[in-house]
Copies of this chain bind each other. A is one copy, B any other.
Amino acid sequence: MHSVLADDQQREPSVDRTDGPRRRATIHDVAKLAGVSRQTVSRAVNDKGEIDPGTKERVLEAARLLDYRPSRFARGLVRKGTVTAGLVIPDLMNPFFPEVAAGVLEAAEQRGWQVVVWDSRTDDAREREALDVLSHQADAVVGYFKNPDDVLARHLGGVPLVLLERGPQQTRFAAVGIDAAAGLEQGLAHLVRAGHRRIGMLDGVHGPGPRREAFLKETRRHDLPVDDSWIALCDEHSVAGGEAGMERLLDERPEITAVFGFNDLIAIGAMRAVRWRGRRVPEDLAVLGFDGLSLGELVDPALTTLHIDKRRLGRLAVEQVARLRAGEEPMSGADAWVIPELVVRASA
């Protein structure tokens, strides 16, 4: 066995530190230790054919000795093809998002892409930080954002973006989303069919958006008495947010016989608040959610909700990215929408 001490020719000059974080071994070090050329090392490490079994073994031994691992940067530089997507999620504690993420991961994996995940915790500044990093490290970004178009563009530096839900001031990026109108059509029809006429809504933190709009539209269509006083804002998309919001709504509009929650967590919070007040669900007050979390089956009464195929939403977003990258026109309209489906359970 050769015993070639890596006599660092031009690197860290003459400093022979035995401890501390040593420089990572390169292909060159391995080559020297094994007494072969870099090329041969490459052949051995990458399991190429044209190499003598003996030298191969010797090279691999040297590599092991030096704890050599090829640099992914150098490799990426020379072998194209590694695609990395960034995924920005607002709240990992809301079961909705992990499921969307699962869809993204699934589709990305099928294409051989990697996914770098960021948790923005519903914070505008953190969204921007995420973009600052991902714009340097990812080939495309997918996610939920509150920042307006121009801000996003500024922090994106040209990296393609696909929104998982288009916000009010977000029109120029590709997006996928949920067909709230189609969902609420089913939802309100169901409530009206059950005899409800005084229906309130617990909206999310962002205020006016597709869900509220659709709610208002359907509500008018059925000729129900509704204005903004029938809508309460929740300051969190969570059970606690729903509880607090429902308290306020009941104070404002005690006459309601049904509520539509911005999402399932809020709806579940609403149910709890209703019961605190000694009213029964659904007999005194019906509750309709939006999301279709499996959690909704576990609460009592089980939550009637507009179920969304969240995995599909995630997969759709990846497909959208693929189109962008291929220079194709992104899907738009119904092709890029997931349509909610009413799931009737006990709460409404």
Contact = CB atoms under 8 A, between A and B. Distances in A.
A158 B118 contact: no
A157 interface: yes
Interface stretch (A2-10, A184-192, A336-344): A2-10
Contact of A11 (B73, B93, B109, B327): B327
Copies, count: 2
Contact of A21 (B6, B109, B133, B327): B327
A9 B299 contact: no
A92 interface: yes
A193 interface: no
A137 B114 contact: yes
A56 to B, nearest CB: 16
Contacts of A97: 98
Interface residues of A, number: 65
Contacts of A298: 239, 268, 295, 298-299
Contacts of A82: 137
A171 to B, nearest CB: 9
A117 interface: yes
A79 to B, nearest CB: 9
A174 B7 CA distance: 11
Nearest to A271: B298
A116 B324 CA distance: 22
A159 B239 CA distance: 41
A115 interface: yes
B76 A105 contact: no
Residue among A117, A118, A136 facing the most chain B CB atoms (10 A cut-off): A117
A106 interface: yes
A10 B136 contact: no
Given A67-B158, A299-B298, A98 B93 contact: yes
Interface in A93-149: 93, 95, 97-99, 101-102, 105-106, 109, 114-119, 133, 136-137
B326 A21 contact: yes
Contacts of A93: 95, 98-99, 102, 294
A160 B239 contact: no
Q: Which 9 A-B pairs have the closest CB atoms?
A: A73-B76, A12-B327, A73-B77, A98-B98, A300-B300, A92-B102, A92-B98, A117-B117, A73-B73
